Amino acid sequence: MKKQLLLVPLICFAIGAAAQKDSVKPMKSQIPFEGQDGTWQNGSDRRDSAVLSNKYFTGCIMVDANYTYSSNNPNDHTVVGSTALARNNEMEVSCAAIGGDFSYNGARGRIMTQFGTRSTVVPRNDYSPYRGQYDLANVYRYISEAYGGYHFNKMHGINVDFGMFMSYVGLNSYYQVENWEYQASYTSDNTPWFFNGMRVQLFPTAKLKIELWLINGWQSYGMFNEMPGMGGNITWQPNENVKLLTNDYWGNDAALIPGRRRFHSDNSLLVRYFHNKVSKGISQAALSLTADIGDEKGDGSAYGLAVNGFKKGDSLHGPAQYFASWMIYNRIWFYHNKFAWTIGGGYMNNPGRYLVLYPTGDASPLPNPNNPTTTAGTHPFSANPGDIFEAWDASTNIEWMPNQSVSFRVEFVHREANVPYFAGPGGVTSPTGYTTTGLNSTWVPDLVKSESRIIFCVLFRI
């Protein structure tokens, strides 16, 4: 562990020493793949310019508000299995964010605040704050990104950043205004939105990015064991119509089970196969394909069973525990990109359920203070080694984008699982749906195997 920690200052020292003689030169662009049109890409900023921008600061204000109607009509209005949505059948502000990017003579930093339901929905999936003192979930709850670093004028640019930054595992952006679909498929919604640690971004050419991570863990504010998570990203964009990327991660993220290792590989291909700037009909069309594969493997401990990755379970090595998923979307823009139609969906298989978003309310598996790898509560959702979870989804939406700062979207999505998982008419909170109502001996959370919903949303960014 100490040797690994020593790598951090050594890496920074080596990069700094190599670039010191160039540090007073004008900075090369901090924007990857500058000059290429990336506004069409799923998970990317669709704006071609920033309004709040000057030499040292580029500001950003975002508002994400939605109304979602669930055909299940749960009495407590609770959404299960989503990080984008929190409340059924009512208006909600999912995210209100303000911040921006700062730069001065190589020094760089970014901070984005977050308010709204996402500031509760996302931190609830991280159990690392239960280790030790200080409430990390509340300390970081209202920050989506916060990092500082330095840009070096070597190759086509080198960035070294420390803090909290986006992961982009699963392709989709954390900010809905950048995504083709509102309710993300399982591949994105069940993988990390953020990392807390250090990253180094290398741009060997104008079309290639190599990114290295040394982080606390898999979407965790703190560290579950004594080893940091490690990983990286490679993004290649040979021209403005093709983007190919891979994100890969390795770590041990099961509390008090240091012998259990997690591996994950996330891979995406984006292709714009039609582009006609002057057409009043179809102006462009693109395809987005993502496939993920990963597993957990290793000996158990006093707190947990051994798991056996992709291999068939046995009494010695434990049951299989892995993640396999894919999602595909096609988007067509009309009338000079003022309108768009998206259709797609995906599939997930996650034996052991180690990446499944747990149901909320009284069906949520609250951490057991006597055993942080298991759960306590009246009716917790089972997530034991060997538990099977398979699910699929399909969605389609129509979007109106009068300008690059605002869009209006209506989306239909249907999701199914092999086990009762989504909130049914009886909800997941109490007999009446209110937390103030006591539970009786006959009540259980109403979980069902499928749901259909219609989402209306407005997405603003300037």
pLDDT tens for each residue of 190-225: 999 999 999 999 999 999 999 999 999 999 999 999
User: Could you tell me the domains of the chain?
Assistant: 22-461 (2.40.160.10)
Q: pLDDT (tens digit, 9 = 90+) per residue, 311-350? A: 887 777 889 999 999 999 999 999 999 999 999 999 999 9
Q: For residue 367, what pLDDT is reported?
A: 53
Q: For residue 26, what pLDDT is reported?
A: 39
**Alpha-carbon torsion (252, 166, 388, 368), positive or negative:** positive
Beta strands, E only, 153-240: 158-166, 194-205, 208-215, 229-239
346 DSSP β-pair partners = 327, 393
Distances (CA, A) of 273 to 51, 242, 425, 461: 30, 9, 43, 27
Q: pLDDT (tens digit, 9 = 90+) per residue, 387-445? A: 999 999 999 999 999 999 999 999 999 999 999 999 999 999 999 999 899 888 889 99
CB 227 within 8 A of CB 233: no
Mean pLDDT of the region 272-293: 95
